[in-house]
Amino acid sequence: MKITRVTSHVLQYDLERELGYSQQYYARRTAHLVEVQTDEGLTGWGECFGPGNVALANKAIVEKVIQPMIIGCDPVDRDAIWHNVYNLLRDHGQKGMPMQALSGVDIALWDLTGKIAGLPLCKLVGGRHRDRLPVYGYGMMLRREGVDAHVARFREEAAAIRDAGFVATKMKVGLGAANDIRLAEAVRLGVGDDFPFMVDANHCYMASDALYVGRALDELNAYWFEEPVAPEDLDGYRELRSKLKTNVSGGEAEFTRWGWRHLLEGRCLDIAQPEVCALGGVSEYLKVLSLAHAHFVPVVNHVWGSAIAVATNLHLLAAMPPVPGGLNPREPMLEFDTTDNRFRDELLVEPMNIQGQVQKSGGYASVPEGPGLGVEPDRDFIERYETVQ
Please indicate whether residue 83 is annotated as part of the active site: no
What single string gives the DSSP state of each residue in 211-252?
A: HHHHHHHHHHT-SEEES-S-TT-HHHHHHHHHH-SSEEEE-T
What distance in Å separates the CA atoms of residue 260 and residue 263, rounded to the nearest whole number?
5
Q: Backbone phi, then psi, for 257, in 5-degree steps?
A: -65, -30
Q: Are 107 and 281 in contact (CB under 8 A)?
A: yes
Residues shown for the chain: 389
Q: What is the dihedral of CA 343, 373, 72, 89, to 10 degrees?
A: 70
Q: Out of 9, 32, 302, 315, pick the active-site residue.
A: 302
Q: Give the H or E element holding residue 3.
A: strand 3-21
CB–CB of 386/9 below 8 Å?
yes
CA quadruple 144, 146, 149, 150: dihedral positive or negative?
positive
Q: How many CB atoms lie within 10 A of CB 242?
A: 9
User: Would you give the distance in Å from CA 273 to the centre of its chain?
Assistant: 8
Catalytic residues: 302
